[in-house]
Chain A
Amino acid sequence: EAQVTQNPRYLITVTGKKLTVTCSQNMNHEYMSWYRQDPGLGLRQIYYSMNVEVTDKGDVPEGYKVSRKEKRNFPLILESPSPNQTSLYFCASTGTGGLGYTFGSGTRLTVV
């Protein structure tokens, strides 16, 4: 089944404790992206990657890092999480032409 897999589904952590949210896709897609979704603000792009070793900032990149060492994986790293990063996070991918994104099931992160 074609899918984007995110882990973990839920995560509660403390301020300052580094964490990684994993994202993997099995569709051989070139393009991958991370979004966060907050009430009243909608979906906002954090980082994106056009292909292996090619990443760039989206609209809200502060406090996040990404890497794209393999085509299928695009982890999101929070080096020192803060409470304002409490949110619902989605990874998405699409093939050439960007026609229709496939989203993961989401990671609900709480930073206390």
Chain B
Amino acid sequence: SQKIEQNSEALNIQEGKTATLTCNYTNYSPAYLQWYRQDPGRGPVFLLLIRENEKEKRKERLKVTFDTTLKQSLFHITASQPADSATYLCALFNQAGTALIFGKGTTLSVSS
């Protein structure tokens, strides 16, 4: 069956450092992968999408890589700030293309 795993449930880093979150998937051949941010009790907010033919994508302090051979995406936040503290979710469409399947998320805490 299709699985998405975000290896760390929680990640604690100091302000100014780079946070790196991992998303691994199995039994998928996705055309693209998405990353979302979720604050407690709120709906996920779309951040970035990366296609299978793109190795890397950047948006301000965010960088996403996509390695279809390793079946892995890395999500980086550079110069992290306390305001970056949230849960980050990766997501892929199921094989039928009818549902976005989410990983369980990694909760990032940035301390000042």
Q: B-contacting residues of A (Cβ < 8 Å)?
A: 4, 33, 40-43, 45, 48, 50, 56, 58-59, 88, 90, 92, 98-106, 108
Contact = CB atoms under 8 A, between A and B. Distances in A.
B46 A43 contact: no
B98 to A, nearest CB: 6
A41 to B, nearest CB: 8
Contact of B41 (A40, A45, A88, A104): A88
B45 interface: yes
Interface stretch (B20-28, B54-62, B74-82, B102-110): B102-110
A102 B47 CA distance: 11
Interface string B22-55: 0000000000101010000111111001000000
Interface hub of A56, A99, A100 (most chain B Cβ within 10 A): A100
Given A42-B103, A48-B98, 15 more contacts: A41-B104, A42-B89, A43-B89, A43-B102, A50-B98, A56-B98, A58-B99, A98-B93, A99-B49, A101-B34, A102-B46, A103-B44, A103-B45, A105-B43, A108-B41
Nearest to B104: A42
A100 B44 CA distance: 11
